[in-house]
Amino acid sequence: MVAGAVALAGSELLAAVVPSTPSLVAAVGQDVIIRVPPVVEDVAIEVFGTADKVALVVGIVVVSLALAAALGAVAVRRFSLAVLGFVMFGVVGTLSAMATPGASVPGTVLTGALAVGGGVAVLRRLVVALARPPASAPRSPPEGAEWGRRRFVRLAGTGAGLALVAAAAGRGLARWVSGGSGPSDVVLRSPAASLPSPVPATALDVEGLSPLFTPNADFYRIDTALVVPRVDLADWRLRVTGMVDRPFELTFAELLDLDQVEADITLSCVSNEVGGDLVGNARWQGVPLVELLDRAGVRPGATQIVGRSIDGWTGGFPTDAVGDGRGALVAVGMNGEPLPLDHGFPARLVVAGLYGYVSATKWLGEIELTTLDAFDGYWVPRGWSKLGPVDTQARIDVPRPRARLPAGRHVIAGVAWAPSRGIARVEVSVDEERWNDAVLSDALGVDAWRQWRYEWDARPGRHEIRVRATDGEGRTQTAERSLPR
């Protein structure tokens, strides 16, 4: 196990200092995400929620250490077989890392080889220490065995300590020498079309109610990236390709020089459960997607827009979704700040009314025009719907589930959203009695959620509160539950 820990920690340290070399652990994890059956993904999301990535990395490390411990037991009798096992682990990690976009093949191979070599060297020292004492050690069998065990424990403890130091140093160095740019390197231009600042009167004043705009630090994050991609702004390019008359590419500076707008848009995850928090509203700043498409000249028959991330992730949505009046941006700002790293820096797609798994490409590198039949985004082959329209939904923020309240007057409050259609009405029902209209906050626009509140005279006993929303097209939220597909 100690030899395995040294190999893993060494690979993390080397990945941090060898240019363009991804973490072997993260690369294997990314491979698992890509190859695992959808049913396993569903279970992982259900069990671990937004901590699924952490659980995956921990699982990979635990399994690797357990297998390394098994190889250690084998090494006492057949050292060559244990070496073969370590080499196989190194090959798996190296091949996974080599498949990472932008990975240096020589650097990745070197990292894998040195990590395996370090692990094997430690394993050899441990086996020798356990197998036979040196000539200067006591020669009687009991004393010799005890000396060998003590030496083994000392070496194992030293190796474990070095592994911890190397792992910590690798993580720290990875953040320090990543070489990528960050939000602090960007100064956003004032948008050509600014929205009025929301005045306090537009928001409902209820303790525990979600704010009109979700703070960046609290905005949900759902993606497949185990390691957040980092780019050098000097090297970053946005390409517009595919079924267009005039393909082109933009540097980040050129993208910032284009006229920008602001748009209040609510995004939600298709996996968001009833009452869940995988939804948020933000004021996005960026270039209207339709303007980039007009510049490229979309050809007839191009029915799908595909967003490609610099880490290889893809999402696709109908071309008709752009230009129908909904907000659709190549966003560079979020709530008055440059995009945070976790939310797609330096640029991402934001399209109102479509779930993120088809439209919200983070760390954007390319926009490709194609047909709906010609290409499926990342999640579609895994069983998710091709189109991904956002349903009309409402959520209760106050009171919380299973809250204990005294009898008397209380406020029930929450948010409702139907991006691209707007919210026209929210109704509340207590204990399956008649539906009553809630008071709505002023609308920020059809793409943003609205707050709502309803005053209720609570009687002693247990109660069930339900809420439903009606969108701007007259469609009312139903009680029917559906799978997140």
Q: Residue 243: inside a domain, yes or no?
A: yes
pLDDT, greater one: 58 or 270? 270
| Residue 37 and residue 26 in contact, taking contact as beta carbons nearer than 8 Å | no
Q: Residue 143: inside a domain, yes or no?
A: yes
Q: Rounded to 10 degrees, what is the CA torsion of 15, 85, 37, 393?
A: -40
269 residue type, one letter: C
Cα end-to-end distance, the chain, whole Å: 41
pLDDT, greater one: 122 or 454? 454
Q: For position 282, which CATH number holds? A: 3.90.420.10
| Residue 420 and residue 326 in contact, taking contact as beta carbons nearer than 8 Å | yes
Instruction: Residue 322: give the domain boundaries.
Output: 184-382
Q: Are residues 200 and 319 in the same domain?
A: yes
Does the pLDDT value for residue 57 go beyond 50?
yes
Mean pLDDT of the chain: 83
| Residue 349 and residue 339 in contact, taking contact as beta carbons nearer than 8 Å | no
Q: Are residues 458 and 402 in the same domain?
A: yes
Indicate the pLDDT class of residue 126, thresholds 50, 70 and 90: low
The whole-angstrom separation of Cα 422 and Cα 195 is 17
Q: For position 425, which CATH number holds? A: 2.60.40.650
pLDDT, greater one: 81 or 357? 357
Q: Residue 404: inside a domain, yes or no?
A: yes
Distance of CA 65 to the CA centre of its chain: 26
The whole-angstrom separation of Cα 40 and Cα 46 is 10
SS3 292: helix
Indicate the pLDDT class of residue 145, thresholds 50, 70 and 90: very low
Q: Which residues contact 113 (CB under 8 A, 6 or more apart)?
A: 90, 94
Indicate the pLDDT class of residue 116, thresholds 50, 70 and 90: confident
Does the pLDDT value for residue 276 go beyond 60?
yes
222 residue type, one letter: I
Tally of structural domains, the chain: 3
Question: Residue 351: in which H helix or E strand, if any?
Answer: strand 348-351
Q: Residue 482: inside a domain, yes or no?
A: no
Q: Are residues 93 and 209 in the same domain?
A: no
Q: Residue 38: inside a domain, yes or no?
A: yes
For CA atoms 289, 295, 301, 307, give the dihedral sign: negative
The whole-angstrom separation of Cα 434 and Cα 209 is 24
Least confident of 119-133, 294-308, 320-334, 393-407: 119-133
Q: Are residues 151 and 240 in the same domain?
A: no
User: What residues pair up with 287 in beta bridges, in sequence order?
Assistant: 330
Kindly state the greatest CA–CA separation across the chain.
90
DSSP characters over 435-458: -EEPEEPPPS-TTS-EEEEEEEEE
What mean pLDDT is predicted for residues 260-282?
A: 92
Q: Domain boundary at 176, 197, 217, which?
A: 176
Overall pTM > 0.85: no
Give per-residue pLDDT as tens, 181-225: 788 888 898 888 778 876 667 789 899 999 999 999 999 998 888
Q: Are residues 145 and 229 in the same domain?
A: no
No. of helices (H) and no. of strands (E), the chain: 10, 17
Does the pLDDT value for residue 66 go beyond 90?
no
Give per-residue pLDDT as tens, 332-346: 999 999 999 999 999
- Pairing state between β 393-398 and 408-417: antiparallel
DSSP characters over 144-156: HHHHHHHHHHHHH
Q: Are residues 226 and 165 in the same domain?
A: no
Long-range contacts of range 66-71, CB-CB < 8 Å, 24 or more positions apart? 66/1, 67/4, 68/1, 68/3, 68/4, 68/5, 68/7, 68/119, 69/1, 69/4, 71/3, 71/4, 71/123
Distance of CA 66 to the CA centre of its chain: 28
Nearest to 462 by CA among 418, 401, 414, 417: 401
What the block records as the tokens of 155 is 């070496």
Query: Which pLDDT score is estimated for 158?
Result: 53
Q: Domain boundary at 136, 158, 176, which?
A: 176
Q: Domain boundary at 355, 382, 409, which?
A: 382
The whole-angstrom separation of Cα 313 and Cα 54 is 19
